[in-house]
Every structure is written in C-alpha cells, then in structure tokens.
Chain A
Amino acid sequence: MVVAINISLATVQEILDHVVDPEIPVVTIAEMGILRTVHAIQDETGMLFEIVITPTYSGCPAMDMIATQIRMAMLENDIKNFRIKTVLSPAWTTDWMSDVAKEKLRSYGIAPPVGNSTDAASQLPVHICCPQCGSTQTELVSAFSSTACKALYTCKQCLEPFDYFKCH
C-alpha cells in the first residue's frame, strides 16, 4: 500500500472542510459541528489520521453517508492512512453550529435554532422567524418533521410552511 506520508494535517482538514451534510447540502459537516476533530496518531502500522465525528441524533441515518463521504474525499486525494471514529460524548448540540451555518440554513429555507440548548429540551421557543419573509407570525404545526433534527412550522404572514432546526 502506498502511504502518502507527506500529507499534512492542514491538508486533511482542508479536504474535510469540503464535506457537506448529505441532508442539508448547503452546510459542511464542520460548520454543523458533526466533524469534531482530526489528528495525526501513531499506531503499529505507522502514522495515520483519526477523523472524529459525532451524530446529531442517536438514530441519524445520515451518519453512514457522512462516513462514506469522508472516505471518498480522502481516497480521491490518495490518502489511505486514516480511520473514522464516532464519539457520543460530549453530546452534539446546536450550540456548536457556527453563525455562518445558521445563516446558510436560513437562506436555504430552514429556520435556524433559536436560543441555548441547555433549556431547550422541554419546550419549543415562542418566536421563530419565517425564513422566507422574516415574519414572527409563525406557528408550530408539528414537533417533528422531515428529519429528526427539525420541527414543522407555518408562516401566518406568507402562508408558507417551513422547517425549523430544533434547538437541541
């Protein structure tokens, strides 16, 4: 096996920065906080990169796809000395989503999470802005929606239904 020994950690990070969320392809897994870290480690076979990811929800069906996309991105760059590790703790939270990611969600038509995750679990916030027209005259239609991480709202101003990325 040819091992690209002269690949730097920075190069790997840059490659991973281009891997997008398969369900919301306008944001990257790094911006979402799914990609936790990447580091170079030594094991019996030599140096390898360990890529650490964490699921948004326990049953997120996108995790296998995300791991596959990472694998493809690495192999396309001729990097074979890596492994992907999934960790659960600390548990993923929407607090890790960057402001850039939140803005991208909004322009994609998904209302980004509002507030802090620590008190989010027991209640949904009152005012969610419509990502289409910006109105706060919105109402919850369903606490669950197209994916585990979203709730369904409708805007009373422009009458459009939209997804809200739950604060988690």
Chain B
Amino acid sequence: MSSTTNYILHLADDALIMSQRLSEWTGHGPVLEQDIAMTNIALDYMGQARNFYQYAASLLGGNTTEDSLAMLRKEQEFKNHLLVELPNGDWAQSVLKVYFFSAYQKCLMQQLLDCSDEQVRGIAEKSLKEVQYHLRWSREWVTRLGDGTAESHQRLLHALDHTWMFTAELFEQPGYHAGWVNYEEIKFYWREELAQTFTEATLEMPSQSAFQTGGLEGKHTEHIGYLLAEMQYLQRVYPNSQW
C-alpha cells in the first residue's frame, strides 16, 4: 500500500473513530440541545470518514469498499490518534477532546487545501467549514466550564489531566505521510489557539511533557478493541449484510 493511501486511511480512521465515540452520547447528553450538538458533530465526522474511505477504496481497487475498510480491518490496521479512541468520560472530557481535535483539524484541513491531490483538496474544503463550527462550539464549552463554577472548573482540570498526555501525537508526522502537511506549523497554531482559550477559561497550560503515542502505527490503547467489537459486530457476524 502506498504512503499516500495509508495517509488517507489515517485521516479516515481519525474521523470514523471520533464519530463512533461521540455517537455514544446519543440519548445521554446533559440536555437535549447538547445531545443533538454532539451527535451532529459525530455525523459530520462520519461524512468526512466516508469521503476519505471512498477515495482510499478507489485507490486500492479490487473488492475494497468504504465499508470493508471501516468494518473489516483489525485494530492494528487502524491508524487513528490515541486521543480519538479514548472513552468519552464526562461532558468535560468529551468537549475537551472535541476542542483539541478541532483545533488540530482546522490547521490540518487548511494545509490540505493546498496539497497536490485534487480529491483530498475537495474533501478538505468541504470539511474545513464544519471543523470551524466544531471549534467554535467546543471552545465556548471549554471557556464556559473553565470559567464557570468550582465544580465545572474542577471537572475540566480533571479532563485536562486525563487527556493532555495524548495531545502531542497530533503533531507527529506519520511514517507514511504524503508530504502534504507541516506538523510543526500545526503544533504552533494549536498552542496559540489553546493559549488564548485557556486564558479566558482561567486554566494554565500544562507543563507535563511525557506523552503517549503509537496510534499512527497501529499500536493502540486497550479501548479501541471494545469500540471496534461493537462497531463491527454486525458485519462480522453476518458478513456482507446490508440495509
């Protein structure tokens, strides 16, 4: 498999796993409107995932389809960041995850707008509009919780404690990259974005510098196995089933 195809699968996997995780909020949001918000964001990620998988399938040819890529690969074959597969935790953990990922994705998609691949440019152009909306929504939540009550502030601190160690992987260049993205630039932008929001949210930037990584190469946390077991169950038990 070419570097480019692997890289497109990496982008697709991030969107799919993000979508699957956030969709677990369906029916469990703190209030109806925010339940709908979270699941609408999940739907956007599902669309992004489909666009990338369809393109990867067309590059791979043969019997490969968007569905076989999503539903019939094993956990070691998934190339998503560890951050996106983490369990949702409480609302603070979930919105912080969406915030971290959206800030990363905004800069990523902006760079992909200028890449050499026409189809990827098209997907990025489409996705960027959605990502900006996710960023705005999640930024508001981070500010609201951080600068809210003693409990909401505490919850956000706990979420930060829990999530921070998975953030540096966002700026790691995968071994199979296609040369489209400057990860140093993403890191710079991401930290700028956070510095501003954290000030408003009365949070301090963590100084912790030990980070977890491995997802890009298929070395995952234990959590993804459970996620895939649930997501792929139907297709594994009833192969080729459709509706």
Interface residues of chain A, those whose CB is within 8 Å of chain B, are 55, 57-61, 87-92, 117, 121-123, 141-146, 148, 152, 166, 168
Contact = CB atoms under 8 A, between A and B. Distances in A.
Given A59-B48, A60-B47, A89-B121, A143 B37 contact: yes
Contacts of B118: 89
Contacts of A59: 43-48, 50
B126 A58 contact: yes
The DSSP consensus for interface residues of chain A is loop
Interface string B21-39: 0000000000001101100
Contacts of B36: 142, 144-146, 152
Nearest to A142: B33
B43 A88 contact: no
Given A59-B48, A142-B33, A168 B129 contact: yes
Interface of B: 33-34, 36-37, 40-41, 43-48, 50-51, 118-119, 121-123, 125-130, 132-133, 136-137
A135 to B, nearest CB: 21
B179 to A, nearest CB: 21
The DSSP consensus for interface residues of chain B is helix
Contacts of B122: 87-89, 91
Contacts of A92: 126
Q: What are the nearest 5 A-B pairs in CB distance?
A: A59-B47, A58-B47, A89-B122, A142-B33, A121-B132
Contact of B41 (A117, A144, A145, A152): A144
B51 A57 contact: no
A117 B45 CA distance: 21
Nearest to A123: B136
A88 B123 contact: yes
Contacts of B119: 88
A148 B44 CA distance: 8
A126 to B, nearest CB: 15
Given A55-B47, A57-B44, A122-B136, A89 B33 contact: no
A58 B48 contact: yes
A61 B19 CA distance: 14
Nearest to A124: B136
Given A57-B47, A58-B48, A152 B33 contact: yes
Contacts of A145: 36, 40
16 contacts: A55-B47, A55-B126, A58-B48, A61-B43, A88-B119, A89-B125, A90-B125, A91-B125, A142-B33, A142-B36, A142-B37, A143-B37, A143-B137, A144-B33, A144-B36, A146-B36
